[in-house]
Amino acid sequence: MQSVDESVKKLLSGEGKNIPLFKVFLPESVMEPLRKVLLSGYIGEGPQVEEFERQLGSWFDNNNVLALNNGTAALQLALRLANVGYGDEVISTAMTCSATNEPILALGAKVVWADIDPWTGNIDPKDVDRKITPKTKAIMCVHWGGYPCDLDELNAVAAEHGIKLIEDACHAFGSTYHGKLIGSHSDFACFSFQAIKEITTVDGGALVCKSRADRERGRLLRWYGIDRKSKRKDLRCEADIVEYGYKFHMNDVTAAIGLEQLKYVGKTIEKHRANAKRYNEAFKNLKAVRPLSYKSDRSSVYWLYTMRVKDRQKFMEYMKRAGITVSQVHARNDNHTMFKDSKVNLPGVDEFTSEQVSIPAGWWLTDEDLVKIIDATVEYDRCYQPKFQEIRSPSRRRGKIPTRQANV
Ligand SMILES: Cc1ncc(COP(=O)(O)O)c(C=O)c1O
């Protein structure tokens, strides 16, 4: 029988399998710090969390960081700190993970959809402005795939109406806007460290606040509203709790993994960007496959490399046969029954969702994988006709180029 270790290694290497769209980055070197913490007798929120927050603060160039147990918690805490409550409205995007918008419902507020730019997947600041009402308490934006939203414009709308801007930056750890890392441009930026993100703590997240006051209130709310730092008369019994909170804090075990991840993330991000650059070059003149349209004043971390593809279903089937995993990743949220009261026309979302698809772009791709993905994509484009004609079946063998040489 195969040992667990061998089968896990095989799974992670992708050997004999499709080229994966996502991969967990967990270096062997996490084992030693993990072992130390696990056997230390202290595994709750403690010194590892504090150190992880300190290092994240240096990363973001903003010390108002709270390490939390997931990205959804970060979003809910940000909404709470923005004082979103029953009957309020939050303007948001439908083009995201449902985790962006479910916390709005959890607080008793209504989601108001703004449309998106169909060439970036990001919320359109002009439509956000049109959707403001006296009930609007906050704007939620999502950096699709890691490509930063129009933050200057969104912050201007928020400032004009005295409301908060919350960035769901769960795709965007390492992305920059006007030369600065995402995490210090708006009132709140929320990050996820779940399994397949740029850094993972298995599950985890962070909320980065603009103001110290929000950070301090958030520090209490992430742990039942209790100040863990205050002296207690009794070892266990807390003093008065002023406002209710949550159990959203990170623990020392997951923070120890996060600290190790930070040593590698610069390199893995570099690889994502280099892969995306090769795709941009290879796909720039294609007709049926078109990369999204990105501005040069910001840079994506390319958690996703999303393209717009004619006859997307055919493309997805073709890539599957070629042994390359592709996906739309997120379904538009406005079609979910839970959001039925928010339904409006969103032509930008219609356009984007009808063609968008992401191909593997991460640190795990070998040169051979890249050539194979580029070749398959170029070949699809070459054979595409408005009425799609069958194209030659691609080879499943890893590394074997199914058709002509890639244009790279
Ligand atoms: C855009 C977006 N927002 C929020 C989340 C939620 O993060 P978490 O899974 O850490 O709760 C995710 C997670 O994948 C996401 O992609």
Kindly report, residue by residue over 160-215, the tens digit of the pLDDT. Answer: 999 999 999 999 999 999 999 999 999 999 999 999 999 999 999 999 999 999 99
In short, whether 76's Cβ falls inside 6 Å of ligand 1 is no
Q: Ligand 1 centroid vs 217 CA: distance in angstroms?
A: 23
Average pLDDT over residues 33-52: 97
From CA 226, how far away is CA 181, in angstroms rounded? 31
Q: How far is CA 229 from the centre of its chain?
A: 32
Residue type, position 279, single letter:
Y
In short, whether 120's Cβ falls inside 6 Å of ligand 1 is no
| Whether 240 contacts 100, CB under 8 Å | no
Please report the pLDDT score of residue 238 as a whole number.
81
Structure tokens at 82: 């923005």
Q: Ligand 1 centroid vs 192 CA: distance in angstroms?
A: 6
From CA 114, how far away is CA 127, in angstroms rounded? 6
Please report the pLDDT score of residue 357 as a whole number.
98
From CA 216, how far away is CA 201, in angstroms rounded? 23
> pLDDT tens digit string along 324-379?
999 999 999 999 999 999 999 999 999 999 999 999 999 999 999 999 999 999 99
pLDDT(16) > 70:
no
Return the closest-CA partner of residue 145 out of 119, 126, 112: 119
Please report the pLDDT score of residue 351 as a whole number.
98
pLDDT(12) > 60:
no
Task: Name the maximum alpha-carbon separation found in the chain.
Answer: 77
From CA 35, how far away is CA 47, in angstroms rounded? 15
pLDDT band at 6 (very low <50, low <70, confident <90, very high): low
Q: Ligand 1 centroid vs 96 CA: distance in angstroms?
A: 9
Instruction: Ligand 1 pocket test: pick from 97, 98, 100, 333 the residue with the most ligand atoms within 8 Å of its Cβ.
Output: 97
Ligand 1: atom nearest CA of 194 is 10
In short, whether 121's Cβ falls inside 6 Å of ligand 1 is no
In short, whether 70's Cβ falls inside 6 Å of ligand 1 is yes
pLDDT(407) > 60:
no
Among protein residues, the one whose CA lies closest to atom 10 of ligand 1: 71
pLDDT(404) > 50:
no
Please report the pLDDT score of residue 390 as a whole number.
55
Residues of the chain with pLDDT > 90: what percent? 87
Return the closest-CA partner of residue 66 out of 184, 231, 182, 216: 216
Please report the pLDDT score of residue 11 as a whole number.
47
In short, whether 77's Cβ falls inside 6 Å of ligand 1 is no
Q: How far is CA 94 from the centre of its chain?
A: 14
SS3 content of the chain, % helix, strand, coil (to 5): 40, 15, 45
Q: What are phi and psi of 256, to 5 degrees?
A: -65, -35
Ligand 1: atom nearest CA of 72 is 11
Average pLDDT over residues 291-307: 98
Average pLDDT over residues 82-86: 98
From CA 271, how far away is CA 301, in angstroms rounded? 10
- The rounded mean pLDDT for the chain is 92
In short, whether 167's Cβ falls inside 6 Å of ligand 1 is no
> pLDDT tens digit string along 56-69?
999 999 999 999 99
> pTM score > 0.95 for this model?
no
| Whether 384 contacts 254, CB under 8 Å | no
Q: Ligand 1 centroid vs 183 CA: distance in angstroms?
A: 16
Q: Ligand 1 centroid vs 199 CA: distance in angstroms?
A: 13
pLDDT(399) > 60:
no
pLDDT band at 392 (very low <50, low <70, confident <90, very high): low
